[in-house]
Structure 1
Amino acid sequence: MKVAIAGGAGYTGGELLRLLLQHPKTKVTQVLSRSQAGQPVCTIHQDLEGISTLEFKEDLEADYDALFLCMGHGRSGQFLEDNPIPDDKIVVDLSNEFRFASPDHQFTYGLPEWQKEKIKKSRKIANPGCFATGIQLALLPLAQAGWLTGEITATSITGSTGAGQRPSPTTHFSWRNNNLSIYKLGTHQHIPEVYQSVQDLQPDYDHPVIMVPVRGDFPRGIFSSIITDTSHSEAELVQLFKDYYADHPFTIVTSQDLDLKRVVNTNRAYLKVDKIKGKVHITSTLDNLLKGASGQAVQNLNLIAGWEETTGLILKPTIY
């Protein structure tokens, strides 16, 4: 399958390149970047020197089967207006423009653990947000069972790559290193994504979802702590999660204490379920650039193409 990547100079574009260049069923034929047009891809993604001879292009050419949009939020819609996409092409958008169901577009929300069968029948996918992926994975089994009965609090610490490649006062090394800070308290743009899936599975859920996003002093990964009310035993809760994720190869329910390093550089998410004094606590971990972005995008491509869901996505973690 011939693949084009628009916005290939950023973090998610680079991760997609690394995944798709070693994917046994894809061939990257175009990498678009207006700011880098004409330059070899390896001048930006230097680890690809000796691996890829591709050059950045400015304009999309017609010879592709699947298109990934890795541009900044708010730019995908304009790109699609400027470049009409034939109906037989696959489009996976990694921005937030099409994540909410609307009669104005035909994009399917691409969280396989929520609606895998719908993704398989789609040609246009809106890839979920990274925070939203980790929090939803912690809540989907509870929502499907109708076991969500109260307010949800989610505290999520994210790596600096989640803010994108362009430095800002709160992302450059000197400020972020050895530092922690909260931002967008209760107003983060990923909260509505959580409501969308939870209320699809449990329509009567109408309690607050309070999100506490924390800037971490590490490059990649998201470590989330989610807590809500429960009247069920820990054994019942653990079994519920294991049953729900039995057919989802990238989400693993574990009894071991979790840390971030086990998921970095992988497309896996790990969940640990505990009961604490009338509350259920779920620890959720994932790599924000892979399961939270580019890896999940390739996972969606595999489902649409009818390939094994794990094709090209078995990556080794960074342990040390």
Structure 2
Amino acid sequence: MRVAIVGGSGYAGGELMRLLLKHPKAEIKHVTSRKFTGKPVSIVNPNLDGLTSLKYVMPNLDVITKDVDVIFLATPHGESQNLVPALLQKGLRIIDLSADFRLKNMASHEYFYGPHACPQFCKDAVYGMPELNKDKIKDAKLIAVPGCHASSAIYGLLPVTRAGLIKPFPIIVDSKTGSTGAGSSPSEADHHPVRANVVRPYGLTGHRHTAEIEESILPNFPAAEQAELKVSFSAHAVDMVRGILSTIHVFLKNKLEDEKPLYQAFRAFIKDNPFLRLVKKQAGVFRLPDPKTIVGTNYCDLGFEVDPLSNRLVIVTALDNLVKGAAGNAVQCFNIIQGLPETTGLDHAGIFPI
């Protein structure tokens, strides 16, 4: 299937190219960048040197949509909403990696992102999390790939909310992320002498991914409990390039005699989802999820422990923010709309040690 990537000079766009260039059923026809128009994509992505002769082109929709079936939007937040109406009119399938069409609640969108240029399209956009919306993704015209932090939290919370095991409040998510989460544009906060060796809180309250988490898990609670749902999310920048580790604190509705109901909930969730793994070993350095082991992969690892003194359940998740948190999930959605196995072009192990 022929594809185009709009916004191909950022980190997520680069990962899309890396994955799609080796995908057996994808042919990249165009990659756009205003800044690097006419230059080889390997100028920005040196890891692709010798693997492709693609050059960046201007994002002229009339040109780049003539010979493609699917278009990936790896644009900054706020730009996709200006492109989507015209792309849908041309009959294209759209996989959008930005936040523009993730939320159904327009009041939430406006609070976190500002006014929406075409809110009428948000209703029919499908939240592109295969483990949550696989059937809806199959026929979707517009797919909104989840945020990286939101993904790390939702994957940890879906098993226990579906099983009815936890209270709707409090739900506390503490997330640590690498520097690529800030994007490819230089900033003072991400200047190497400033960023190196840090564990820096940067989004302690009001993080925009909070709304995604709440929208995704709300239907799993009984109607009488839904008004109580409140997710408290905090983010920290840490000294790594890729990866997110989320530690999620929730409280069990009932005291458990053992961990069997939790194992059942997590195993039921990962059963038909090839990129989710339960990592809960009795011993060893990597007995629980660690971002170090999933770098470059589309896996999200899940683990948990119970604090019997407080009836607190601590869930830990790890994923690569550029792959399972962005480009990899987008390719997984691409596979689903083609009727391909979800693992096509994505079933590779991580690099270790790194």
TM-score, normalization by structure 1: 0.96
Is 2:70 the partner of 1:63?
no
- 2:141 corresponds to which of 114, 123, 127: 123
- 2:234 is matched with 212
Range 199-208 or range 161-170, more displaced: 199-208
1:223 counterpart letter in structure 2: L
2:103 counterpart letter in structure 1: F
- 1:301 is matched with 334
Return the alpha-carbon distance in structure 2 between the equivalents of residues 259 and 139 of structure 1.
17
Q: String of CA shifts for 1:263-316, please: whole Å, max 9, x gaps.
A: 111000000121112111111000000000000000011111100000000122
Q: Would you say the 8 A contact 2:214–2:229 is kept in 1?
A: no
- 1:75 corresponds to which of 76, 79, 88: 79
Return the alpha-carbon distance in structure 1 between the equivalents of residues 125 and 185 of structure 2.
28
Q: Would you say the 8 A contact 2:218–2:229 is kept in 1?
A: no
Q: Would you say the 8 A contact 1:123–1:304 is kept in 2?
A: no
Q: CA deviation at 1:147?
A: 2.3
2:179 counterpart letter in structure 1: S
Q: Would you say the 8 A contact 1:94–1:127 is kept in 2?
A: yes
- 1:251 is matched with 276
- 1:113 is matched with 131
1:49 counterpart letter in structure 2: D
- 1:162 is matched with 181
How many residues align structurally?
319
Is 2:160 the partner of 1:142?
yes
Is 2:299 the partner of 1:268?
yes
Return the alpha-carbon distance in structure 2 between the equivalents of residues 312 and 236 of structure 1.
34
Q: Would you say the 8 A contact 2:279–2:301 is kept in 1?
A: yes
- 1:34 is matched with 34
Q: Would you say the 8 A contact 2:23–2:344 is kept in 1?
A: yes
Q: Would you say the 8 A contact 1:95–1:127 is kept in 2?
A: yes
SS in 2 for 1:85: helix
- 2:10 is matched with 10
- 2:284 is matched with none
Return the alpha-carbon distance in structure 1 between the equivalents of residues 186 and 259 of structure 2.
43
Please, which runs of 5 or more residues in structure 1 have no aligned partner?
none
Q: CA deviation at 1:87?
A: 5.9
Return the alpha-carbon distance in structure 2 between the equivalents of residues 285 and 184 of structure 1.
19
Q: CA deviation at 1:137?
A: 0.5
Q: Would you say the 8 A contact 2:127–2:146 is kept in 1?
A: yes
SS in 2 for 1:84: helix
Range 3-12 or range 269-278, more displaced: 269-278
- 2:112 is matched with none
% identical equivalent positions: 38
Is 2:171 the partner of 1:152?
yes
SS in 1 for 2:249: strand
Residue 85 to residue 115, structure 1, CA distance change in 2 (3 Å): closer
Q: CA deviation at 1:146?
A: 2.3
Structure number with higher helix proportion: 2
SS in 2 for 1:104: helix
Q: CA deviation at 1:2?
A: 0.3
1:136 counterpart letter in structure 2: I
Return the alpha-carbon distance in structure 2 between the equivalents of residues 187 and 24 of structure 1.
41
Q: String of CA shifts for 1:123-153, please: whole Å, max 9, x gaps.
A: 2100000000010001111221222313011
- 1:104 is matched with 120
TM-score, normalization by structure 2: 0.87
1:139 counterpart letter in structure 2: L
Is 2:244 the partner of 1:238?
no
2:324 counterpart letter in structure 1: K
Q: String of CA shifts for 1:24-83, please: whole Å, max 9, x gaps.
A: 0000000011111111111111121211101111023211010000010111111235x4
SS in 2 for 1:63: coil
Return the alpha-carbon distance in structure 1 between the equivalents of residues 33 and 273 of structure 2.
34
Range 95-104 or range 213-222, more displaced: 95-104
- 1:84 corresponds to which of 84, 87, 90: 87
Is 2:178 the partner of 1:175?
no
SS in 2 for 1:243: helix
1:55 counterpart letter in structure 2: K
Q: CA deviation at 1:240?
A: 0.9
SS in 2 for 1:218: coil
Structure 1 runs of 4+ aligned residues shifted over 6 Å read: none
